[in-house]
């Protein structure tokens, strides 16, 4: 992120905080909602086997997409699934 873009992002977050909106809390609630949705899916599909593909998807959504930059996430995706198409 460039310095001017960082300033703009910081100012937007400051405006949200000034309006009593907590961006960190909203992000945490969104992660919890996603986690609950995944748990509901897993509970609903208990008869289905937990396949390697589901494990990789969970890893990508739960770790890679949240903790890596878009370019790094794409590289991880390529490394995980490059042999799946052949």
Model confidence pLDDT, tens digit, residues 1-25:
899 999 999 999 999 889 988 888 8
Model confidence pLDDT, tens digit, residues 40-75:
887 776 666 778 888 888 888 888 888 888 888 888
Each domain of the chain, given as residue ranges in start order, spans 1-47, 49-86
Lookup result for tokens 């998807």: 57
DSSP the chain: --HHHHHHHHHHHHHHHHTT--HHHHHHHHHHHHHHHHHHHHHHTTTS---HHHHHHHHIIIIIHHHS-HHHHHHHHHHHHTTT--
pTM of the prediction? 0.42
């Amino acid at each position: 992120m460039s310095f001017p873009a960082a300033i703009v992002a910081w100012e937007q977050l400051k405006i949200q905080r000034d309006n009593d909106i907590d961006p960190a809390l909203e992000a945490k609630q969104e992660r919890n909602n996603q986690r609950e949705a995944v748990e509901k899916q897993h509970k609903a599909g208990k008869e289905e086997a937990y396949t390697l593909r589901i494990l990789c998807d969970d890893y990508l959504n739960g770790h890679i997409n949240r903790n890596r930059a878009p370019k790094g996430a794409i590289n991880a995706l390529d490394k995980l699934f490059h042999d799946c198409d052949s």
